[in-house]
Amino acid sequence: MCPVRLVVFGRQGAGKGTQCLRLSERYGVPHVSTGDMLRAAVEAGTPFGMKAKAIMDAGELVPDDVMVGIVDERLGQPDAEPGFLLDGFPRTGDQADALDRLLGERKLLAALNIEVPEEVVIERMLARGRPDDTEDAIRRRLELYVEQTAPLLDHYRGLGLLVEIDGVGTEDEVAGRLRSAIENRLG
Ligand code: AMP
């Protein structure tokens, strides 16, 4: 089977984490989340983790060259040979270009964008009732996501890799749409 190499985009609250877990199990490929990797480094208390924590706490981005090094190393591991689900990377245009270069002949199958309208994710997040989830804070995070991500979606659209997935519906419905999109690309 053609390797299932995917980049997954989706706003906070779009159900990306849950769907990545299901896809990872179904296709037997690792879920490579750069946010999770950075949080693990913070937990481990390594010097790198301490630097990363300061950046993450400030809501800034870890420098591109550092992130590219981490992802390059991770995707070179044997479990990523049958494919991978890249989540949280790329986050900038330079990261997207670097990813194209580091993958070389390992072509991506698709870039999936799980699309959920802003009003729906705001409702979902408000329903969780977390103290940092005020409507203003949520709107600001969503705005930043759109600013950061829209150019990346254009990058993958230009490469003919972008597939938009309707993220409104039950978890099973969305999982079914993702599966059909992937099977379609696998041919
Ligand atoms: P996430 O869990 O994907 O929202 O990531 C949490 C935080 O980790 C982000 O707010 C950034 O500070 C950092 N981070 C994760 N992925 C990247 C990336 N590709 N480039 C730069 N910083 C990142």
Q: What is the pLDDT of residues 53-81, one digit of tens each?
A: 999 888 889 999 999 999 999 999 999 99
* Probe residue for ligand 1, chosen from 56, 121, 147, 152 as the CB with the greatest number of ligand atoms within 8 Å: 56
CA of 65 to the centre of ligand 1 (A): 13
pLDDT tens for 98-118 read 999 999 999 999 999 999 998
* Residue 81: per-residue pLDDT: 96
CA of 187 to the centre of ligand 1 (A): 33
CA of 91 to the centre of ligand 1 (A): 8
Instruction: State yes or no: cis peptide before 78, omega within 30 of 0.
Output: no
* Residue 111: per-residue pLDDT: 98
CA of 34 to the centre of ligand 1 (A): 6
Which residue numbers in the chain have pLDDT < 50? none
* Residue 104: per-residue pLDDT: 96
* Residue 1: per-residue pLDDT: 65
* Residue 148: per-residue pLDDT: 86
- CB of 14 within 8 A of CB of 116? yes
Q: Which residues line ligand 1 (CB under 6 A)?
A: 34-35, 38, 55-56, 60-62, 67, 88-89, 91, 95
* Residue 37: per-residue pLDDT: 96
CA of 55 to the centre of ligand 1 (A): 9
Output the residue whose Cα is nearest ligand 1's atom 15: 35
- Specify the ligand 1 atom closest to the Cα of 90: 19
Long-range contacts of 124-127 (CB under 8 A, 24+ apart): 124/13, 125/12, 125/13
